[in-house]
Amino acid sequence: MDAAAAAIAIRSGHVRDMFWIAFQDVAAVVDRYAGVSEPRRFEFTAHRGGTIDLVDAQVVGEADRNRCELVDTGPRWALVRNRIAGEGHATPTLERITGHPATSRGLPSMVRLVLRFRSR
């Protein structure tokens, strides 16, 4: 991944944060949550902080301050439910919790991506 990050930086002139999670891991999370009611409230977030403890008081408190909650986590990812559909609080919440950059995509987008690339 370092080689890919270096190549992108050379070509674009910008250093970018890169996140890598195996497709089968992303697909497993998406499959577990694809049928939730109000999918627009959910965001899949990639980060560099390891696996986050869902019941840790500091984690719960930070998420609550940001009007969201972590509903599932794994190595370098979290699934976050926002209190209000269409709001996006996952990235800043995970960045504060981990102290590292994070990036998020809505669950509906992740469902479409998994469907598209699973068939290849």
Q: What is the pLDDT of residues 12-28, one digit of tens each?
A: 887 767 788 999 999 99
Q: How high is the mean pLDDT of the chain?
A: 92
Work out the end-to-end distance of the chain between its first and last CA atoms, rounded to an integer number of angstroms: 23
Mean pLDDT on 29-45: 96
Residue 11 reports pLDDT greater than 90? no
Measured CA to CA, the distance from residue 47 to residue 80 in angstroms comes to 12
Domain boundaries, the chain: 21-118
Structure tokens at 83: 């209190």
**In this structure, CATH architecture of domain 21-118:** 2-Layer Sandwich (3.30)
Residue 45 reports pLDDT greater than 70? yes
As a residue count, the chain comes to 120
| Bigger pLDDT: 6 vs 112 | 112
Residue (of 113, 95, 112, 115) closest to 103 by Cα position? 95
Residue (of 96, 104, 2, 110) closest to 49 by Cα position? 96
Predicted local distance difference test score (pLDDT) of residue 7: 76
